[in-house]
Structure 1
Amino acid sequence: MTNTSYPASYYAASANPAPSRPALQDDVETDVCVIGAGYTGLSSALFLLENGFKVTVLEAAKVGFGASGRNGGQIVNSYSRDIDVIERSVGPQQAQLLGNMAFEGGRIIRERVAKYQIQCDLKDGGVFAALTAKQMGHLESQKRLWERFGHTQLELLDQRRIREVVACDEYVGGMLDMSGGHIHPLNLALGEAAAVESLGGVIYEQSPAVRIERGASPVVHTPQGKVRAKFIIVAGNAYLGNLVPELAAKSMPCGTQVIATEPLGDELARSLLPQDYCVEDCNYLLDYYRLTGDKRLIFGGGVVYGARDPANIEAIIRPKMLKAFPQLKDVKIDYAWTGNFLLTLSRLPQVGRLGDNIYYSQGCSGHGVTYTHLAGKVLAEALRGQAERFDAFADLPHYPFPGGQLLRTPFAALGAWYYGLRDKLGF
């Protein structure tokens, strides 16, 4: 059987020690079988174990192998489409429920880090950086919107103030969210996996789910074993493949690219980001960056629709980094990698139930670090019979991509080209 290891990345190279977990080779019984040991699956497992469920997690590769262990590491609140967009689509009552949850994921991460003493370089503070007056106006509206839902840790930054937090001449202003922040994403996943096991949960690696036998007592089959459960949680996101065809039809894997510099040293690192906040700009196809615990700059951006791996990641991302920080022109890039996230047509997460006992959450659309932690709590609530918050997500309308799987990539790329052109032209 193939043993899938982590792709070469800064995160894999700097991961905390973790045990080697066996592949499933037996037939086991459990209350809940979770498919996928990324943030959604691990968060679900933790909440369920804390509420007395017996939980088995199946992971096709290694804990945090997918987006959970490769992302930019930024704690960003709300969803890929903000609460005002949701409100226009579903009305004020459902939007109120979703708005009340929009800032919960970051709190869950911090609670997990504190409760289980997870070493993941957690830092507070995230900046949304505006490149145009129009983007600055959007941030002003966003601040009012978020404050309407009780989120008050926000500060608008004028041009002088943003220069104090990021040494980039491109920005006209921004917004600081002190409940945002950043983490080493793979170490967060590894710490959560250890927490799952400390509560009696079992995680099998190198154990892809190859078939789900649906029914009153569903069974998940792997190449060498099977799990019979009362409930199944499908949490594979962009790495689920076609295991559940009705989920694959309404989503599309997309790739994003990330680079990590050599260590910059304290002085240069502090000159770039004096308060050690993470930053993302306000473009549709946004760039994002932050410092690591050992003072490297992590810089990411760009989207490859259909999740093809580019031939030269550094050639795509380094020019973006140098546009923001020309002072890094002589700095070496030590790592470059890509990872997939799952895009939905609405850019809102898809949550639901298949039959009576198969639950799922997918499609964070590039906004997954906080949402996935919330999703685990919401899924666990639903399995305990408390479905109001689950239903608020499940009732969001979702549609298949135009043209089906064959044409979804060119349609999405065309849309991205249009919005990228709007970013460049400033309208």
Structure 2
Amino acid sequence: MSVIEHTTSYYAASANPSPQRDALQDSITADVAVIGGGFSGISSALHLAEKGFNVVVLEGARIGWGASGRNGGQIVNSYSRDMDVIEKMYGVDTARALGAMAFEGGDIIRERIKTYNIDCDLKTGGVFAAITAKQLKGLEEHKALWESYGHDQLQLLDKSAIRQEIQTDRYEGGLLDMRSGHIHPLNLVLGQAAAVESLGGKIYEQSKVLRVEEGEKVKLYTEHGDVTANYVVVTGNAYLGNLIPKLASRSMPCGTQMIATAPLSDEQAKALIPSGYCVEDCNYLLDYFRLTGDNRLIYGGGVNYGGGDPDDIKQFIRKKMIKTFPQLANLEIDFGWGGDFLLTMSRLPQFGRIGSNIYYMQGYSGHGVCSTHLAGRLVSEALTQQAERFDAFAALPHLPFPGGHTFRVPFTAMGAWFYALRDKLGI
């Protein structure tokens, strides 16, 4: 059996020690079997283990191998479509139901870090950075919207104020969110996996699920073993493949890339982003960046519809970084990597059931760090007969991409090109 290791990312190179877990070799039983060892799967397993369920996690590679161990590490609140869009599309009641949960994922992350003493470089505060006056006006509306849902830790920044927070002349202003922040994502998921095991949960790596047999009890088959469970939670996201065709047909993997520089001195780092906030801009195809615990700049951006990476990630992202920080033109780039996230047509997560005992959560559309942690709590509620909050998401329609499976990539890319052009022209 070939062993699949982590990608050559900064996160993998700086990960906390974690055991190589065995592959499943036997026929076993569980109350709940979870497919996928990323944020959604491990969050689900931890919430369920805390409620007393006998939980088994099956991961095809290593814990955090996919998007959960490769992402920008930013705790960004709400969803990829905000409550005003949700209200327009689905009505006031749905907007209020989802809005009541919009800031919960970040709180769950902070609670997990504190309860289980997870070392993952947690820092508080994040900035949405406006490149144009139109984007700044949008942030004013954004602030009012979030405040109407109870978020009171927001501050608008004018051009002078944002220049004090980020050493670049690129931005017209911004919005500071003190309920945001950032973490080392791989260490966060590894810490939660250890917490699952401390509560009696079982985690198997190198145990890709090859077949799902539905029934009164669900049976999952791997290469060398199988699990029979009362319930299954499916959380493979962009790396689920075609295991469950119904889920693959209404979503699309998308690639994003990032780099990590050589370490900066404390003085250089303090000058670059004095308060250590994470940052993302307001473009449709956005850039995002932050400082790590050892003073590297992680800079990411770009979307490759259909998944995969450009030939030279370092050079591709370096150009973006230098556009924001020309003073870093001579700084060495130590790491460059990519990974896939799962996009939905509505840009909202897809939750639901297949039959009565298979639950799924997928398609966070670039807002997965917080929403995955919320998802784990909601599925644990649903399995203890408190399904109202899970069902608020499950009731959302799962829209097909225009052009079907064959043409979804070029059609979506054309739409993205249009919005990127609008950003470039400032209209």
Normalised-by-shorter TM-score class: over 0.9
1:3 aligns with 2:3: yes
1:339 is displaced (CA, Å) by 0.4
Task: State the partner residue of 2:98.
Answer: 98
Distance in 1, Cα, partners of 2:308 & 2:185: 22
Distance in 2, Cα, partners of 1:142 & 1:233: 34
Which structure 2 residues correspond to residues 34-53 of structure 1 after superposition, within 5 A? 34-53=34-53
Which structure 2 residues correspond to residues 1-400 of structure 1 after superposition, within 5 A? 1-400=1-400
1:390 is displaced (CA, Å) by 0.7
Q: Which secondary structure state, in structure 2, belongs to the residue aligned with residue 101 of structure 1?
A: coil
1:93 is displaced (CA, Å) by 1.0
Letter in 2 for 1:329: A
Distance in 2, Cα, partners of 1:318 & 1:22: 38
Distance in 1, Cα, partners of 2:77 & 2:261: 26
Q: Which secondary structure state, in structure 1, belongs to the residue aligned with residue 322 of structure 2?
A: helix
1:251 is displaced (CA, Å) by 0.3
Deviations 1:330-376 (CA, angstroms, capped at 9, x unpaired): 10000000000000011100000000000000000011000000000
Once the two structures are aligned, what percentage of the paired residues are identical?
Answer: 64
Q: Is the 8 A contact 2:35 2:209 kept in 1?
A: yes
Q: Is the 8 A contact 2:308 2:339 kept in 1?
A: no
**Alpha carbon RMSD of aligned pairs, Å?**
0.6
Letter in 1 for 2:298: I
1:402 is displaced (CA, Å) by 1.7
Letter in 2 for 1:115: T
Deviations 1:89-123 (CA, angstroms, capped at 9, x unpaired): 11111110100000000000000000000000000
1:279 is displaced (CA, Å) by 0.3
Task: State the partner residue of 2:425.
Answer: 425
Letter in 1 for 2:269: A
Distance in 2, Cα, partners of 1:375 & 1:336: 29
Distance in 1, Cα, partners of 2:49 & 2:84: 35
Task: State the partner residue of 2:416.
Answer: 416
Unaligned runs of 5+ in 1: none
Distance in 2, Cα, partners of 1:179 & 1:72: 17
Letter in 2 for 1:368: G
Per the normalisation by structure 2, the TM-score is 0.99
Distance in 1, Cα, partners of 2:63 & 2:351: 22
Distance in 1, Cα, partners of 2:240 & 2:213: 16
Letter in 1 for 2:268: L
Distance in 2, Cα, partners of 1:321 & 1:19: 35
1:309 is displaced (CA, Å) by 2.2
Q: Which secondary structure state, in structure 1, belongs to the residue aligned with residue 230 of structure 2?
A: strand
Distance in 1, Cα, partners of 2:308 & 2:319: 20
Unaligned runs of 5+ in 2: none
1:245 is displaced (CA, Å) by 0.2
Deviations 1:361-404 (CA, angstroms, capped at 9, x unpaired): 00000110000000000111111111110111011122111222
Per the normalisation by structure 1, the TM-score is 0.99
Letter in 2 for 1:303: V
Deviations 1:224-269 (CA, angstroms, capped at 9, x unpaired): 0000000000000000000000000000000000000000111111
Distance in 1, Cα, partners of 2:150 & 2:418: 34
Q: Which secondary structure state, in structure 1, belongs to the residue aligned with residue 267 of structure 2?
A: helix
Letter in 1 for 2:79: Y
Distance in 2, Cα, partners of 1:25 & 1:59: 13
Q: Which secondary structure state, in structure 1, belongs to the residue aligned with residue 100 of structure 2?
A: helix
